[in-house]
């Protein structure tokens, strides 16, 4: 599993003309599922994200988590994170999980956040063409992989 984590002041995702998810201060997660990912890896990733200290404390040090600051989380599926560009100029997505595996893993991740935090959890729409708007705060952007 690969997740691009962006600390944001605000973020939203649109499918067509409909906003499917929007947050203020929090984390935008772009989630790629690998064909060999397991539920244990997904749980590890969720716990890591909930505890990741990327928000500033009163001394302007990144010591606080999204949970500590009562932030929000926007989860968006993005299979292109597993695009391989080693050969040629057209990315290969052979490492990305097929939708039959990726969608349940994506949905399980969303449910995990809802079950293990009191944060506002918003989402994109799996498999849809989405438009994202975000204000990256910092900027702070990390790539987590398990």
- The CATH code belonging to domain 2-145 is 3.50.80.10
pLDDT of residue 34: 96
Side-chain-facing half-sphere of 97: CA atoms under 13 Å: 22
Which positions are catalytic? 78-80
pTM to 2 decimals? Answer: 0.95
Q: What is the mean pLDDT of residues 4-28?
A: 97
CA distance 77 to 58: 33
Instruction: Give the model confidence (pLDDT) of 42-59 as tens digits.
Output: 999 999 999 999 999 999
Predicted confidence (pLDDT) at residue 21 exceeds the cutoff of 90: yes
């Amino acid at each position: 599993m690969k997740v691009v984590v962006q600390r944001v002041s605000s973020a939203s995702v649109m499918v067509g003309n409909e906003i499917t998810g929007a947050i203020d201060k929090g984390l935008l997660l772009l989630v790629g599922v690998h064909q060999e990912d397991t539920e244990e890896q997904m749980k590890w990733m969720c716990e890591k994200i909930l505890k990741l200290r990327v928000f500033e404390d009163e001394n302007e040090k990144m010591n606080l988590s999204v949970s500590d600051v009562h932030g929000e989380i926007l989860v968006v599926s993005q299979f292109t994170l597993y695009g391989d560009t080693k050969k040629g100029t057209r990315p290969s997505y052979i490492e990305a999980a097929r939708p039959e595996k990726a969608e349940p893993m994506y949905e399980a991740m969303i449910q995990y956040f809802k079950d293990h935090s009191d944060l506002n959890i918003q989402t994109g729409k799996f498999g849809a063409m989405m438009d994202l708007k975000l204000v990256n705060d910092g900027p702070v952007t990390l790539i987590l992989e398990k």
